[in-house]
């Protein structure tokens, strides 16, 4: 029987894990805030695209590396942080520290660092390494705060400080963490999961890239800033998803869902208070309260689909999930590109994305129903 003290400890650890994940989401926000003060608008658009590419690479590499291990019952070692990831991340941050004003260096270093951070984050979420994550969060908060102060003084070394904070976070997570494991997951599930993740991660990258290619620099910066703000929700949803891949938990689902609603309310309060405009500069003028509200709704409707998704993954239905994700991604790309070509309204764009996400949830739920019925005894 679980004691009240054990329950409180578990809740505290979960909150620390989610909070540290939210801090990890501060990194792209801090980079965009610093860029708004130090770089020209077209350079800010370049950085927005680089951050989108980094998010894509980080999501695909981390999922392809660790999720197949988590789902493979044959493997005793479920997760680790490989030495190459730590080295890649540190080298990428060193480039930013030495050459903070170079867009080329940022284009290479940022994705490398983001890959290392995401692998470390996923490992920590699975192992519930909350003490390690608390230290990681402290390093990133201090770095982001110092970088913002320096950027207000137009100091290019603000980027160097951010790079140093990211390097510290990467090394903290690597300390006393396994850097190699025995056994490999099966190839087929690994391939399905990796390609599926790539299809899903391609959506936000494709949207930002489309705006960038249309040479709407201010809109590209604003769109990436909006996705970055929504990134505060990602640690909550990502933590819930990672934990549910191991086992179903009703309390975890309810708790994380409630926390998501609180986070959305906080985002809207900060928008009304003018915080995001002060943070991201003039480009944020493109984002209306209505557009941000619809963007929050887009993320909110993705919560219910987490349950059928993780159920199907635990049941080994990787192919079925893959094809649902393919259909979803194609719909996302078709709808977003069409809306961007016919209108420059972010509100209309996020409304379309909300409709597509709702359709994805219905597809996953329908598959879950058919699978669960087939597994019931006659």
What pLDDT, in 10s, does the model give residues 36-88?
999 998 999 999 999 999 999 999 999 899 988 887 778 888 889 999 999 99
Supply 341's token pair: 């070509």
Residue 371 domain-assigned (yes or no): no
Residue 372 domain-assigned (yes or no): no
**CB-based contacts of 117, cutoff 8 Å, min separation 6:** 24, 27, 58, 89, 166, 169, 170
Residue 278 domain-assigned (yes or no): yes
Per-residue pLDDT of the chain (378 residues; tens, 9 = 90+): 455 555 565 566 666 666 666 666 778 888 999 999 999 989 999 999 999 999 999 999 998 999 888 877 788 888 899 999 999 999 999 999 999 999 999 999 999 999 999 999 888 877 766 778 888 888 999 999 999 999 999 998 999 999 999 999 999 999 888 888 888 888 888 888 898 889 888 888 999 999 888 878 888 899 999 988 887 777 777 777 777 776 777 777 788 888 888 888 999 999 999 999 888 888 898 899 999 999 999 988 888 888 888 888 777 787 888 888 889 989 999 999 999 999 888 999 999 999 999 999 899 888 888 877 766 654
Q: Work out how many domains the chain is built from and give that number.
A: 1
Q: What is the pLDDT of residue 46?
A: 93
Q: What is the pLDDT of residue 236?
A: 77
Backbone phi and psi for residue 180, each to the nearest 5 degrees, phi listed first? -150, 155
CB distance 264 to 327 below 8 Å? no
Q: What is the pLDDT of residue 6?
A: 53
Residue 79 domain-assigned (yes or no): yes
Q: What is the pLDDT of residue 149?
A: 94
Q: What is the pLDDT of residue 90?
A: 96
What is the C-alpha separation between 167 and 174, in angstroms, rounded? 11
Residue 14 domain-assigned (yes or no): yes
Residues of the domain holding 304: 4-366
Q: What is the pLDDT of residue 115?
A: 95
**CB-based contacts of 317, cutoff 8 Å, min separation 6:** 367, 371
Residue 111 domain-assigned (yes or no): yes
> Which residue in the block uniquely carries the two structure tokens 């309204």?
345
Residue 376 domain-assigned (yes or no): no
Residue 378 domain-assigned (yes or no): no
What is the C-alpha separation between 118 and 136, in angstroms, rounded? 12
Q: pLDDT for 179-207, tens place per residue?
A: 888 888 888 888 888 988 898 888 889 99
Q: How would DSSP label each residue in 237-271?
A: HHHHHHHHHH---HHHHHHHHHHHHHHHHHHHHHH
Q: How would DSSP label each residue in 159-210?
A: HHHHHHHHHHHHHHHHTTS-S--S----HHHHHHHHHHHHHHHHHHHHHHHH
Burial-class residue 140 by CB neighbours within 10 Å (0-12, 13-18, 19+).
Answer: buried
Q: What is the pLDDT of residue 7?
A: 57
What is the C-alpha separation between 195 and 250, in angstroms, rounded? 29
């Amino acid at each position: 029987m679980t004691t009240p003290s054990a329950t409180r400890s578990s809740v505290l650890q979960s909150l620390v894990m989610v909070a540290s994940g939210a801090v990890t989401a501060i990194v792209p926000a801090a980079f965009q805030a610093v860029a708004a003060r130090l770089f020209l608008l077209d350079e800010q658009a370049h950085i927005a695209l680089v951050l989108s590419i980094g998010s894509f690479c980080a999501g695909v590499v981390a999922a392809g590396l660790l999720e197949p291990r988590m789902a493979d019952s044959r493997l005793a070692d479920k997760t680790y942080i490989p030495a190459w990831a730590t080295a890649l991340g540190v080298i990428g941050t060193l480039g930013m520290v030495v050459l903070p004003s170079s867009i080329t260096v940022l284009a290479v270093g940022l994705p490398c660092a983001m890959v290392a951070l995401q692998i470390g984050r996923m490992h920590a979420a699975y192992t519930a390494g909350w003490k390690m994550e608390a230290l990681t969060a402290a390093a990133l908060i201090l770095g982001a705060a110092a970088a913002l102060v320096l950027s207000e003084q137009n100091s290019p070394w603000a980027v160097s400080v951010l790079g140093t904070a990211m390097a510290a976070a990467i090394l903290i997570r690597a300390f006393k963490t396994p850097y190699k494991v025995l056994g490999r997951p099966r190839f087929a599930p690994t391939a399905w999961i990796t390609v599926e993740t790539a299809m899903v991660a391609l959506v936000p990258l494709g949207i930002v890239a489309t705006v960038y290619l249309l040479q709407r620099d201010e809109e590209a910066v604003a769109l990436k800033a909006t996705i970055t703000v929504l990134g505060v929700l990602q640690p909550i949803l990502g933590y819930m998803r990672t934990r549910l891949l191991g086992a179903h938990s009703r309390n975890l689902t309810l708790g994380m869902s409630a926390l998501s609603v609180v986070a959305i309310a906080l985002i809207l309060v900060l928008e009304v208070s003018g915080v995001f405009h002060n943070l991201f500069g003039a480009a944020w003028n493109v984002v209306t309260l209505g557009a941000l509200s619809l963007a929050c709704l887009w993320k909110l409707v993705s919560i219910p689909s987490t349950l059928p998704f993780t159920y199907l993954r635990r049941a080994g239905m990787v192919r079925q999930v893959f094809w649902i994700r393919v259909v979803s991604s194609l719909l996302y790309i078709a709808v977003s590109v069409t809306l961007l070509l016919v209108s420059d309204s972010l509100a209309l764009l996020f409304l379309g994305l909300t409709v597509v996400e709702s359709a994805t949830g219905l597809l996953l739920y329908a598959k879950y129903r058919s699978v669960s019925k087939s597994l019931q005894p006659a």
